[in-house]
Structure formats: C-alpha cells, structure tokens
Amino acid sequence: WLDRVLVTTSVLGISVPSFVAAIAIAVTFGFYWSHWTGLSLTGQLYETDPFTGQRHLVLRNLLLPALALGVRPLAIIMQLTRSSMLDVLSQDYIRTARAKGLSPGRTVWRHALRNALNPVVTAVSGWLASLMAGAFFIEYIFNWKGLGTVTLRAVENLDFPVVMGATLFVAAIFVLVNIAVDMLYALLDPRVKIN
C-alpha cells in the first residue's frame, strides 16, 4: 500500500505546475489554516520591527515558497528513485548479497541505493533550470522581492543590462551545480574518476 500511495502522490506532484501548487499552498496554509500554522500568505526573509526599526531574520516566511517550489522536483525524484531501485534490486549482485546472508536493510542501503542514485543525481542537476524558472513565479505569488521580481521588472522596462546580469548569474549557478554533480558522481560510483 505504501508503494501505491507514493506513486499516486508523485504523479499528482508531477501533474501540478509549480505556480498552481504555490497558489494552493499559499491559500491553504497561509490563509485558511494560518491560525494553526502561524504562517502568513506573504512576507519577506527580513522583516523590520515597527517599534525598534531593527531588521530580523524570519525563516518561517521561507517555508511556504520553498514547499511550493519543491513539490514537483521531489515528485520526480521519488519516481526516478523508485524505478532505479526496482532496476537495481533485480541485478545479480543484489541476489548474491542476499544469498550471502546480508540483511535486507544493509543490502538496500549499502549496495542498491548507492548504485540507484546515479540517474537521480543526473536528473536533479537537470531540474535546476526548472527550479530557477519556477522561482520567478513563486516570488510573484508570495510577493517576494528577489532576483525574479527584479528580472521581470527589467524585462518590462527593457532594462537590458539587468536582464543580462540576471541571466549571467543564473547561468553561473547552473554551471557550478553541474560541476558539483560531476564531483558527486565520484563519491557515489567508485568507477568514476575525476582527473
């Protein structure tokens, strides 16, 4: 039953676009259930105290946008991990490990999961571009003043240097994440060597 629930949840998570999930999450947790959750519909990472004028870091305002942004990638990671694990668990070396008497938990965590994570890591690095694009809509829905808002205003005002700077910044992050993923391959798979 757990497998069916996870597959159904991941299919729903993939089917819903991030901006629709953001609206649903914002209205549900930030409006209807705000007296139970303590979360607000909009807010900034830093808020100014009206009495003292000091700025305070408010991490709870980050929770709803992060949840809305992470629903779809998490669902895809769930499906990829499941299919990759099913493929790896049918391999001969897993049957050999079980025949040698290794516990099922050790077989799954030590041998199967490590080999099943290679395609998942590849997909995660590819989904970074989608996360960056989705962040622009999430910032708009939750009224955050971030890079997405600045870039959208620059596009509206034909402010090309700001658009180019934002594009360069996002491209640099994308390149750095791909380099980190290549280094992570060496940790996950000992057959991969980085020179």
Region label for 140, one of left (φ > 0), alpha (ψ between -120 and 50) or beta (otherwise): alpha
Q: How many domains does the chain have?
A: 1
Mean pLDDT calculated for residue range 8-32: 84
Q: What is the CATH number of the domain that holds 62?
A: 1.10.3720
Higher local confidence (pLDDT), 139 or 40: 139
Residue 133: partners with Cβ closer than 8 Å, 6 or more residues away: none
Say how far apart CA 149 and CA 139 lie, in whole Å. 7
Indicate whether 85 belongs to any domain. yes
Q: Which residues pair with 57 in a beta bridge?
A: 46
Average pLDDT over the chain, rounded to an integer: 82
Indicate whether 66 belongs to any domain. yes
pTM of the full structure: 0.73
Amino acid symbol at 156: E
Indicate whether 22 belongs to any domain. yes
Lowest mean pLDDT among 7-16, 45-54, 141-150: 45-54
**The two three-digit tokens of residue 111, written as one number:** 């041998």
Region label for 53, one of left (φ > 0), alpha (ψ between -120 and 50) or beta (otherwise): left
**Cα 112–Cα 121–Cα 110 angle in degrees, nearest 5:** 20
Region label for 101, one of left (φ > 0), alpha (ψ between -120 and 50) or beta (otherwise): left
Indicate whether 122 belongs to any domain. yes
- H helix runs in 91-146, sequence order: 92-99, 104-106, 113-126, 128-141
Tokens 């965590």 label which residue? 109
Indicate whether 33 belongs to any domain. yes
Query: Is residue 138 scored above 90 in pLDDT?
Result: no
For 55, the domain range is: 2-188
Residue 112: partners with Cβ closer than 8 Å, 6 or more residues away: 85, 88, 89, 94
Indicate whether 19 belongs to any domain. yes
Indicate whether 195 belongs to any domain. no
C-alpha torsion sign, points 8, 11, 14, 19: negative
Contact yes or no for 9/75 (Cβ under 8 A): yes
Mean pLDDT calculated for residue range 47-56: 77
Convert the pLDDT of each residue in 152-184 to its tens digit: 889 999 999 999 999 899 888 888 888 888 888
Indicate whether 158 belongs to any domain. yes
